[in-house]
A and B are shown apart, each in its own frame.
Chain A
């Protein structure tokens, strides 16, 4: 295995493979600013919740850096998303629309109260007709995350795993490529360094 590419979104910084990406302020939303900086044209983005926006933006950086043609890889990439609070932030927002007397429950918020929607959004955008999964873990644990990616590689058709972790204000994604090389400890170390930096 190896890390073919990675991207990271912090509260003030965006990184793709060691390179910082300049994000000029164009709106009152950090994620919309990143969207503009990456010159994306995908109106559905604006309907997404924060979790989906983070995953979508990270994939927008990583997928083109690994694959020249989105269509060529759709069977070979598994999408794995993990965090510690599932969709709790959106759950709270949705609940407000139910609990407030004069409001109606919001269907557009409710769909995002399923955390795996982030994996679905990435699959739709990149035409990935393959495995997508969401796991909830107590905290970022590179060893644990890599084990999950390794489970996907048990399907011999899977050559890459888009492996991602989300905190409230920081998220990271790694495109793990399968190969004969057994360097698990090295990858765990790299994953940790990327997350901590």
Chain B
């Protein structure tokens, strides 16, 4: 499957080049929020107030769109522009990946129809004149990679020629208080794979990819992907990485580990996730492959993460760089793997994306650049 259009918007920037530039300059959009929403202090990557609204206002009338929808539309618009597809035709289908959509509306507008994910997703597709049924994937934190697996299958079914995959989530008191109640959030900058890691930083973002099966000039290729549940616990991964390991095995990777430029791990900086991932990489005997996490730059962007991190990985590989794992200093007690300390150079063409989430979900994807 070939990507012919892409975009990401994070608080680091509204395009891929800018995001990677910032990351290679060690910049992070994670900030400490003290007393926001009357919550205990937390660190997160959030858009500055009115940023999305202002960007959208210069583009269209914002009255009937929520901030969540505006962010998605802005990202889709740029990806579609690049791909030049006839977005309003029957050949195009939208796949929207999100965990919580407009859940913030519960606070001030609890009866709003926009609380329904399908409705919000339809508004995004209809904005572009697309009238096909919209598919909403809500598979916890793996949604953004799962959506790409489904995009591939949708194209193979033959009904559509193009799939627009958009991953988007924004933060609210609902989401932050929840992760705080689970004691999963750090009030300091996160430290993926570090022995002193204390939890995750959440983040806001949107990312879009336009996929098709055949194209002359692609930006990158989705080679294969798989989703496997570890059937272990609803909010804790299998210690032996049963699901994630099986997901990678199931993909039947067409390349040897030596051909991977890097593994982009989920690396949330929670105790259990990072331990599980190091166990997985060890079981795969990929200990030597440079492995990084982007969470220190943009936080964990929830339903957008699988797409955001795929695109950032593509862009870094295109620039011949492997981005360092911001926040990482010293490995903990887990299996020893090759966590990237400092930015590296690479001439390889493949990377492996790993991701896991609540409900026992795991997904893996293999991608390449031309």
Contact with A along B221-255 (1 / 0, CB 8 A): 00000111111111100000011001000100000
How many residues does chain B have at the interface if contact means C-beta atoms less than 8 Å apart?
55
Q: B340-360 toward A: CB 8 Å interface, digit per residue (1/0)?
A: 000000000000000001111
Chain A 144-186 interface mask (CB, 8 Å, partner B; 1/0): 1001001100110100000000000000000000000000000
Cα–Cα distance between A111 and B184 once the two chains are bound (Å): 12
B96 to chain A, nearest CB (A): 9
Task: Supply 7 A–B pairs (Cβ within 8 Å), ascending by A.
Answer: A86-B138, A95-B107, A113-B174, A119-B359, A120-B358, A124-B231, A134-B138
* B153 lies within 8 A of chain A by Cβ: yes
Stretch at the interface among A16-24, A25-33, A34-42, A100-108: A100-108
Closest B residue to A87 using CB positions: B138
| A131 in contact with B182 given A88-B115, A120-B361 (CB within 8 Å) | no
In the A-B complex, list the 6 residue pairs whose CB atoms are closest, starting with the nearest. A120-B359, A110-B178, A136-B136, A105-B181, A107-B181, A151-B153
Residues on A with C-beta less than 8 A from B135 are 135, 137
A110 & B182 in contact (Cβ 8 Å cutoff): yes
Bound complex: CA of A147 vs CA of B154, how far in Å? 9
Q: Contacts of B91 on A, CB cut-off 8 Å? A: none
Q: How far is the CB of B366 from chain A (nearest CB, A)?
A: 15
- Size of the chain A interface, CB-CB below 8 angstroms: 49
Q: Which A residues are in CB contact (< 8 Å) with B118? A: 84, 136-138
Report yes or no: A115 in contact with B138, Cβ–Cβ below 8 A.
yes
User: Nearest chain-A residue to B154 (Cβ)?
Assistant: A151
Tell me if A117 is interfacial: C-beta within 8 Å of chain B: yes
Taking a contact as CB atoms closer than 8 A, the residue among A91, A105, A137, A155 that contacts B180 in the complex is A105
Of B99, B122, B146, B181, which contacts A114 at CB under 8 A?
Answer: B99
A132 touches B227 (CB 8 A): yes
Q: Is A98 an interface residue (CB 8 A)?
A: yes
Asked if A127 CB lies within 8 Å of chain B CBs, one says yes
Cα-based distance from A136 to B97 in the complex (angstroms): 10
Is A92 a contact partner of B100 (Cβ separation < 8 A)? Answer: no
Interface residues of A in 48-64 (CB under 8 A from B): none
Neighbouring B residues of A95 by C-beta, 8 Å: 106-107, 110, 174
For B242, give its contact among A84, A126, A129 (CB under 8 Å).
A129
- In the bound complex, CA of A126 to CA of B227 (Å): 17
Complex contact A85–B116 (CB within 8 A): yes
A84 smallest CB distance to B (angstroms): 6
Known contacts A134-B139, A136-B138, A110 near B230 by CB under 8 Å: no
Given the complex, which residues of A lie within 8 Å of B246, measured CB to CB?
A: 129
B137 within 8 A of A: yes
A104→B100 CA distance, assembly (Å):
20
Min Cβ gap B69→A in Å is 15
Interface contact A84-B138, CB-CB below 8 Å: no
> When chains A and B are docked, how far (Å) is the Cα of A110 from the Cα of B235?
11
Instruction: Report whether B140 and A147 are in contact in the complex, using a CB–CB cutoff of 8 Å.
Output: no
Contact A92–B110 (Cβ < 8 Å): yes
For A113, what are the chain B residues with a Cβ–Cβ distance below 8 Å?
100, 103, 174, 178
